[in-house]
Amino acid sequence: MSDSPSIFTKIIAREIPADIVFESDSVIAFRDIAPQAPVHLLVVPKTEEFANVAELAVGNPSLLAELVAVAQQLAMEHTGGQFRLIFNTGENAGQTVFHVHAHVLGGNLEEGTLGH
List the catalytic residue out of 40, 99, 101, 103. Answer: 101
* 78 catalytically annotated: no
Provide φ and ψ at 11, rounded to 5°. -65, -45
Which residues belong to the active site? 101
